[in-house]
Every structure is written in structure tokens, then in C-alpha cells.
Amino acid sequence: MFRLLSYAWIAIGLLFLGACGSTAFADDDTSCCSSRNSCGSCCTSEGLFDFLDGDSCCGSSCGGGTCFTRDCCPSLYGSIILGGSIMDGRSGGVNTLVIPSFFNTGNGSDVLFNAGGTIGIAIPKSSGTFRFEAEGQARNIFNSVTNSYRPPAPTYFYQVTLEDSWTLMGNAWYDYSLNNRWSVYGGGGLGMAGFNLSVNDTVAEGRGASTNFAFQLGAGLSYRLREKLTVDFGYRYVDMGLGNIRLNPIGSPGFDGGNYSLDVTSHEFVVAFRFNRLGDLLGR
């Protein structure tokens, strides 16, 4: 899933760049338009996908001395997300294979690569833009160590592996414009997360899949590289929920040995390539 998601969004990005052509970005938004009205702003003819890419806002006359361009209307966008994550896991649960039983303790962390994409709608306002999007991301394998049997100090340790981790989020962001090129943004999202968790301390083992409620909070800086391409640099805190699996002696899966839990969070540093006015790709 991780590789397929990465390849699919890279292919979409390359296709979109090809559709955009070599048109240069202009601060007054004139580069995309086929004609100019009496106000000196640019307007285009309306077509099937004009609402999707914002062309329906272009007028052939001035409204109160102000010309309306494609920047004033809602438009579709898609993005490719690439980044690095510091994933943390806080262990819990009770191992009952020895008497007395003991609590699993300790935190583990690992550095991962993550990739994904979004599709959303941007709604411009006077000082910035609201963005609402659906986002999917996948991450590579998490490997770490937490404490197992410990009288009085740990003498056994769980080798912890978390594979096939994914998140699906519905996000809301607000971009505050600093100038024609730069903006800052903040927001968050709610959704679902999943992963496969396995542990082994050479005596006990366990494995299982988990699907949880998830959320994220984030902020960052955006640079409008050209009319149809914006680059986002951001940080996100992601809570992927609690994974809980049953423990058993190695080689005896039918014997109950308690449980192991892992509370998974992630600090993510991402770069997103946001392709604006996705309606251009669909209609032209």
C-alpha cells in the first residue's frame, strides 16, 4: 500500500505539471487568461469545468471598480505529501506468564518515511483561504524496544514492530496570506488510523491488527511557486490511537499470557506539492 500510494501520486503530479504547460506565474494572475477587460485584469471564457477551476468568477466588466479574477472563487486542488516522522510508542498491558504478573513499561521511538496525498477544495477569503480536504498517508516499518520482565531492573525486552501503518483524515486548514507568494497556515484533521503490531521478548509473543480513531494538528509555511503550484512546508502532530494484542508463550498460541498495548503518536515534518485548480487537468 505504501509503495502504490507513493507511485500513484507521483504519476498524478507529473501528469498535472504536463497539463499546466510552461505558463509563467504572474502576481496579478494574468498569465492564465486569454483576454483582458477594461480594468486591466484578466478574464476567460466560461466552459464545462469553469466552476471547478474558478473561471466562473471572471467577468467582462468591472464591478464597483474591481475586476473579479479566478482567484476569487472556490477551486479544486490535489497534493503530493512527502516527509519524515519521529514515531513514538508508549507500551502498556499486563504480562501474566510469570508469577507475580507484571506491567509492560517503556517508550520506543523510530524515524520513518511517510508519503501520501490529498484532494480538496480551496475557498478564498479577503485575507486568506480556507481549505477542506481528504488526506491519505502511509508510513514504513517502525522498529523499537520496550521493557518486559524486570526484577528489579529489566532483564527481558520486547522487540516491537509496527507495519502497514496508514491514516485517512478529513482536514481543515486556513492559509493567511503574507503577500502574493508567501502564506502561513494552521489547522487539523479527524479520521482513522490502522497498523499491524507484533512483539516478541524471546518468551512471549503477540501480533494483531488495529484500527483506531485518529486526529492531527499542524501548522506551516506555504510558497506559491507558480499560479498552479504551491509548496507547503509543515509540522504535524498525529495521534494514531492505541493498539492492543494478546500475549502467549512462543509456540503456544492457544495459551493466554496477558496483553500488550502500544499508544502510537507521530511528529511529522512534511513537504507538500499542491497543484491548484485541478479543474484545469479535468477539463483542458
Distance CA 29, CA 44 (A): 12
Backbone angles phi, psi at 223, to 5 degrees: -130, 125
Nine cell digits for residue 18: 504536463
Dihedral over Cα of 120, 281, 220, 123: its sign: negative
Q: What is the pLDDT along the chain (284 residues), one digit of tens a residue?
A: 545 444 444 444 444 444 333 333 333 333 333 333 333 333 333 333 444 444 444 443 333 433 444 556 789 999 999 999 999 999 999 999 988 899 999 999 999 999 999 999 999 987 789 999 999 999 999 999 999 987 677 789 999 999 999 999 999 999 999 998 999 999 999 999 999 999 999 999 999 999 999 999 999 999 999 989 999 999 999 999 999 999 999 988 889 999 999 999 999 999 999 999 887 655 54
What pLDDT score does 85 carry? 96
How far does CA 183 lie from the centroid of its chain? 19
Nine cell digits for residue 60: 467582462
Distance CA 134, CA 174 (A): 15
Which residues are CB-contacts of 8 (< 8 A; sequence separation ≥ 6)? 117
Q: Where are the domains of the chain?
A: 2-283
Strands 102-103 and 94-95: antiparallel
Which residues are CB-contacts of 274 (< 8 A; sequence separation ≥ 6)? 77, 78, 79, 222, 229, 230, 231, 232
CB 156 within 8 A of CB 204: no
Amino acid occupying residue 27: D
Nine cell digits for residue 93: 498491558
* Residue in the block written with cell 504536463: 18
Domain 2-283 has CATH 2.40.160.20: yes
What pLDDT score does 5 carry? 46
Q: How many residues does the chain have?
A: 284
